[in-house]
Amino acid sequence: NLCICFQYTFWNFIPKNLFEQFRRIANFYFLIIFLVQLIIDTPTSPVTSGLPLLFVITVTAIKQGYEDWLRHKADNAINQCPVHFIQHGKLVRKQSRKLRVGDIVMVKEDEKFPCDLIFLSSSRGDGTCFVTTTSLDGESSHKTYYAVQDTKAFRDEQEIDALHATIECEQPQPDLYKFVGRINVYHDRNEPIARPLGSENLLLRGATLKNTEKIFGVAIYTGMETKMALNYQSKSQKRSAVEKSMNVFLVVYLCILVSKALINTVLKYAWQSEPFRDEPWYNQKTEPERKRNLFLQAFTDFLAFMVLFNYIIPVSMYVTVEMQKFLGSYFITWDEEMFDEDTGEGPLVNTSDLNEELGQIEYVFTDKTGTLTENNMEFVECCIEGHVYVPRIICNGQLIHDYTGMDMIDSSPGGSRKEREELFFRALCLCHTVQVKDDDSVDGLKKNRFSRRSCVYISSSPDEVALVEGIQRLGYTYLRLKDNFMEILNRENNIEKFELLEVLSFDSVRRRMSVIVKSSTGDIFLFCKGADSSIFPRVKEGKIDQVRSRVERNAVEGLRTLCVAYKKLTAEEYSNVQKLLQNAKLALQDREKKLAEVYEKIERDFILLGATAVEDRLQEKAADTIEALQKAGIKVWVLTGDKMETAAATCYACKLFRRNTQILELTTKKIEEQSLLDVLFDLKKTVVRQNGSLTRDTFSG
């Protein structure tokens, strides 16, 4: 499990560093000049170019050697970090670098995973753990990972050590969100039980364990084969825009130098074309010089002129730039405005080679959620068959968040209406991957309804937490997942249990997620929630127009919307679904494609229940930041998977769009209503009419 991020070793530093330095045009040029001065008779001493070149090479080598020494120190700290292995049924403490594929490791809360691990078991009863991947992808939210079904009940070292299993997986590759594998668990002499392994079972090196006492995992990728290492490995040495520009200028000056040397050589021989001209009595040519080859003599004179004029290219240019980069990296480290008070850490500069690139940025691509917005979601309302439910009220101008009743618009009680309400609330309580942080506080919920507020929910998606907390204020509380049964507390303070049969995870292509659950009465439900563009085409029944109208209204106000639908499955239908899912999950080749095909077959013919609206407030000073970037000449693009109306509302709020901004909308809906040619023609007419007053085009789609 040896981690190697350094570039040089004690043995290869000098040759490798010299090779990299002489790849630079200026350094290579002065090396040639120095060699020419050594070989031929030149008007200047070799010392005049040799000493400056030696100084430049030495200073750069010291700077690069020091930075690489810091990388050596960081690698040693990681490689010598103590890790708990399981050996012969007991915990053994060893250095991280001694970890090998197949070793079983125990990781405690707030520790980082030493390599890529297959998650076997957890101290949590439901076989899950929470992880933050800030150092990998910048996401600070807690992500939920799941232990292998056959091993999640293991609690101690002896049980783990007695495990007999084999793992098949794909070759190491850098995609953090993709993993395909299969584990075969052997029980006695019976045939092995095959279980699929996906990215939800893979704990990545560099991620941190949170809100979980401990986990056990088996090493699957180690050392430079971990996903973190594969993402950090550089294919080639990077060169900044400034250095590339310098190289271009050097080539231009080199051409000027060659031209000057060539012109002076020609003029010399033109001047000395007559015999004995320019030969005073004290400097007459010797006989061997007169018989020397003319072309060889001309070439020697050309090189002499090159040496004479070589100072047109400054030898200290590279070392000046290198020292500026080196010292500039310390100014970044010392910058108090970049200090994070929450973590107590400032900026860390791993290499100074690309410092100046920070000032060369022309485009900034930003996500909307969590970047422009706070990613702190708050449930605003839900719409069930056209009736709006708001889990909060305004009293005397004051917003009361703890209101547990419902504000119904267009209320018309009815048996069918009540049934749909309860199905909607159950769907939101069941269709998610939320975990309850403190299970011990759940027991008292049976007796005291208000203790439902003590539940602390954790999820990788803040939307899901907001929905579960919002539904809690409407009378339904998600309690926990225990022994594969999801428990919810209804309005009558009765606990309902649903067996979790299948989870059809969310992905950005489908833009929806589903769960299949079985009630205590034996009914099997498939609950689905997702974007309106993903749900509406798959609905066969329900008040689509009323719900669609409310969704569009909320989107224009900048709210995040989701639609909820369901359908009932017979035992035979579920049996077929289970077989299709199992075959797709066990596939090692094209698993994602096969799962997508199965999901497409399952998620159809829904009955629409309603929609939700969640508010995500704008980040503090987001508008000022975007305005400052635009004043600096940087073009800001917002990339989001949200609805077009929601994205536009956010762009207006953060001042990316102005009132006079001309918007060119290229969406599927727009193109269906009007051909692309007509859209562009209308835009052209607007531009001509406004005589170039178009401030910005935005392309959405």
Q: Of 461, 378, 376, whose CA–CA distance to 142 is shortest?
A: 461
- Across-strand partners of 245? none
Q: H or E element: which one contains 630?
A: helix 622-631
Indicate the SS3 state at residue 369.
Answer: helix
Whether the CB-CB separation of 133 and 122 falls below 8 Å is answered with no
Q: Which amino acid appears at position 443 of this protein?
A: D
Tell me if 640 is assigned to a ligand binding site: yes
Q: Is 575 left (phi over 0), alpha (psi -120 to 50) or beta?
A: alpha
Q: H or E element: which one contains 299?
A: helix 294-308
Q: Of 16, 19, 15, 27, whose CA–CA distance to 247 is shortest?
A: 27
Tell me if 685 is assigned to a ligand binding site: no
- Across-strand partners of 6? none
Question: Which structure tokens are listed for 55?
Answer: 């100084």
Alpha carbons 511 and 536: distance in angstroms, whole number: 12
Whether the CB-CB separation of 180 and 169 falls below 8 Å is answered with yes
Tell me if 642 is assigned to a ligand binding site: yes
- From residue 223, give the alpha-carbon distance in Å to each of 2, 81, 284: 5, 13, 72
CB neighbours of residue 12 within 10 Å? 11
Q: How many residues does the chain have?
A: 701
- Across-strand partners of 502? 516
Whether the CB-CB separation of 536 and 528 falls below 8 Å is answered with no
Burial-class residue 311 by CB neighbours within 10 Å (0-12, 13-18, 19+).
Answer: middle
Tell me if 625 is assigned to a ligand binding site: no
Residues in Cβ contact with 315 at an 8 Å cutoff, skipping those fewer than 6 apart: 26, 30, 49, 52, 53, 56
- What residues are annotated to the active site? 367
Whether the CB-CB separation of 102 and 182 falls below 8 Å is answered with no
Tell me if 643 is assigned to a ligand binding site: no
Q: Of 216, 221, 220, whose CA–CA distance to 120 is shortest?
A: 216
Tell me if 446 is assigned to a ligand binding site: no
Q: Which residue has the tokens 């998606």?
A: 461
- Across-strand partners of 480? 487
Indicate the SS3 state at residue 32.
Answer: helix
Tell me if 210 is assigned to a ligand binding site: no
Alpha carbons 394 and 399: distance in angstroms, whole number: 5
Torsions phi, psi for 476 (to 5 deg)? -120, 125
Tell me if 701 is assigned to a ligand binding site: no
Whether the CB-CB separation of 321 and 246 falls below 8 Å is answered with yes
Q: H or E element: which one contains 650?
A: helix 644-653
Taking the alpha carbons at both ends of the chain, their separation in whole angstroms is 44
- From residue 33, give the alpha-carbon distance in Å to each of 38, 48, 250, 624: 9, 10, 15, 54
Question: Which structure tokens are listed for 98?
Answer: 């001694």
Q: What angle do CA 119, 123, 125 make, to 5 degrees?
A: 95
**Residue 178 DSSP symbol:** -
Whether the CB-CB separation of 167 and 111 falls below 8 Å is answered with no
Alpha carbons 509 and 506: distance in angstroms, whole number: 9
Torsions phi, psi for 94 (to 5 deg)? -135, 175
Tell me if 369 is assigned to a ligand binding site: yes
Tell me if 560 is assigned to a ligand binding site: yes
Alpha carbons 279 and 273: distance in angstroms, whole number: 12
**Which residues participate in the annotated binding site for ATP?**
367-369, 464, 506, 529, 560, 640-642
**Binding site residues for Mg(2+), as ranges?**
367, 369
- Binding site per annotation, positions: 367-369, 464, 506, 529, 560, 640-642
